[in-house]
């Protein structure tokens, strides 16, 4: 059983930056937003998953396919760890009798999908079906129902939740479903229902930590406000309007990206719709921008077809950081141990090109770990603030 833990931290604010010391959960104030601890999950290939796990531990994922964060949701007295995804609207849990398929839609054993152990064992009486697609291969299919759930100790009645009985999935060995932090036009997601039930603004703020911060530092999510309880002001935050709001996703209208090139600082302008997506372990850029970034490396990166990443020498010369400009403000994201990652002596880039010309660009976890991001549904806006680590 997962235990909800409150860990106090010292927060120091200066020059529009947020500095967090220690474990990052919000400091309670009068009338605070609801704050829930996040759980960083470890890849299924890590042997420690087979050992007895401290349920309060935040576990780091080591799989090079990417990182996942999870939030705890309680249903009918049972706790479920769900993958936190700002790119999905529906929240769902896999049923204990689900059928697993590979990406060629060939039936496999349940173990192939690598879900966690606590699957939903209850009955689902519903004639409403759902089918959700994630990325290029993952699919969840099942029934939708209305239930009462609990998040962070607060009950929310009559919310829509899915129960997946068919999956094409690349699991992590711990999470058993997905917690959607986007929305559907004409319908509400669980996080929106939670804000309304608590009479809070329909928004949330994510502050996702670095992997290097360790198992107990996954980050924090604040429903209904900011993580530190401070207002969003123009001097500290960059705020931009959402685009294509009928799509039900956190989309902004492009950005600028600057990095040290072979001879000087090079700036690339990305004039295309961009999704901010915690479910994406990559930064996905147009081909021409990706090629310009690759040209700044010595020796040249090489495409690894099996792993679908750019392999780089672990001793390569590379840009120190990448600067993203959004809403007139610049945000610095380090390259080492973030955009350039290492796994068991294999070094690779978390920047890749979009799958097809015209696809949305994506700013995923390597970007989000170095910013605090407010997602304001009512205002149809997103606000960004630089993270400064002690």
Model confidence at 126: pLDDT above 90? no
Say if residue 104 is in the same domain as residue 185: yes
Q: Domain ends where: 223, 252, 284?
A: 223
Model confidence at 28: pLDDT above 70? no
Say if residue 68 is in the same domain as residue 111: yes
Model confidence at 165: pLDDT above 90? yes
Say if residue 268 is in the same domain as residue 190: no
Per-residue pLDDT band at 22 (split at 50, 70, 90): very low
Q: Would you state the pLDDT for residue 339? A: 92
Tokens of 244: 């294509």
pLDDT digits (tens, 9 = 90+) for 83-105: 889 999 999 999 999 999 999 99
Tokens of 24: 């990052």
Residue 117 lies in a domain: yes
Model confidence at 214: pLDDT above 50? yes
Say if residue 62 is in the same domain as residue 188: yes
Say if residue 126 is in the same domain as residue 161: yes
Separation of alpha carbons 145 and 167, rounded Å: 18
Residue 229 lies in a domain: no
Say if residue 243 is in the same domain as residue 169: no
For tokens 């604040």, the residue is 222
CB distance 286 to 276 below 8 Å: no
Model confidence at 24: pLDDT above 50? no
Say if residue 164 is in the same domain as residue 245: no
Residue 194 lies in a domain: yes
CB distance 179 to 83 below 8 Å: yes
Per-residue pLDDT band at 41 (split at 50, 70, 90): low
Residue 22 lies in a domain: yes
Per-residue pLDDT band at 153 (split at 50, 70, 90): confident
Per-residue pLDDT band at 217 (split at 50, 70, 90): low
Residue 1 lies in a domain: no
Say if residue 175 is in the same domain as residue 260: no
Model confidence at 268: pLDDT above 70? yes
**Domain span at 246:** 238-389
Say if residue 137 is in the same domain as residue 53: yes
Q: Domain ends where: 195, 223, 251?
A: 223
Domain count, the chain: 2
Model confidence at 325: pLDDT above 90? yes
158: domain CATH number is 2.40.70.10
pLDDT digits (tens, 9 = 90+) for 174-193: 889 999 999 988 888 999 99
Say if residue 288 is in the same domain as residue 216: no
Q: Domain ends where: 162, 192, 223?
A: 223
Say if residue 314 is in the same domain as residue 178: no
Model confidence at 139: pLDDT above 90? yes
Say if residue 176 is in the same domain as residue 321: no
């Amino acid at each position: 059983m997962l235990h909800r833990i409150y860990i106090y931290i010292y927060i120091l604010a200066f020059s529009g930056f947020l500095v967090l010391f220690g474990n990052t959960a919000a400091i309670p104030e009068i009338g605070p937003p609801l704050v829930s601890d996040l759980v960083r999950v470890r890849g299924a290939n890590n042997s420690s998953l087979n050992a007895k796990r401290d349920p309060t531990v935040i576990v780091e994922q080591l799989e090079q396919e990417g990182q996942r964060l999870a939030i705890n949701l309680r249903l009918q007295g049972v706790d479920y760890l769900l993958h936190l995804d700002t790119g999905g609207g529906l929240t769902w849990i896999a049923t204990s009798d689900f059928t697993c398929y590979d990406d060629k839609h060939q039936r496999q054993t349940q173990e192939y999908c690598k879900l966690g152990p606590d699957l939903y064992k209850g009955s689902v009486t519903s004639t409403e079906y759902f089918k959700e697609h994630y990325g290029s291969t993952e699919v969840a299919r099942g029934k939708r129902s209305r239930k009462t759930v609990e998040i962070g100790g607060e009950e929310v009645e009559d919310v829509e939740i899915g129960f997946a009985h068919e999956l094409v999935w690349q699991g992590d060995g711990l999470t058993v479903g997905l917690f959607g932090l986007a929305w559907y036009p004409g319908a509400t997601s669980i996080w929106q229902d939670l804000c309304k039930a608590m009479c809070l603004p329909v928004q949330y703020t994510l502050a996702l930590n670095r992997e290097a911060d360790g198992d107990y530092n996954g980050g924090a999510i604040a429903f209904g406000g900011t993580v530190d309880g401070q207002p969003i002001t123009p001097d500290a935050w960059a705020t931009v309007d959402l685009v294509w709001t009928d799509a039900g996703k956190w989309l902004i209208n492009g950005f600028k990206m600057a990095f040290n090139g072979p001879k000087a600082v090079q700036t690339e302008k990305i004039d295309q719709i961009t999704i901010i997506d915690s479910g994406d372990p990559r930064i996905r850029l147009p081909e021409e921008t990706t090629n310009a970034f690759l040209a700044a490396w010595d020796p040249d990166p090489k495409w690894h077809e099996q792993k679908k990443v750019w392999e780089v020498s672990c001793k390569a010369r590379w840009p120190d950081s990448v600067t993203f400009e959004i809403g007139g403000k610049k945000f610095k994201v380090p390259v080492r141990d973030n955009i350039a990652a290492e796994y068991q002596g294999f070094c690779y880039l978390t920047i890749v090109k979009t799958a097809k010309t015209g696809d949305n660009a994506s700013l995923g976890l390597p970007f989000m770990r170095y910013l605090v991001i407010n997602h304001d549904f009512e205002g149809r806006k997103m606000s960004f603030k630089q993270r400064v680590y002690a």
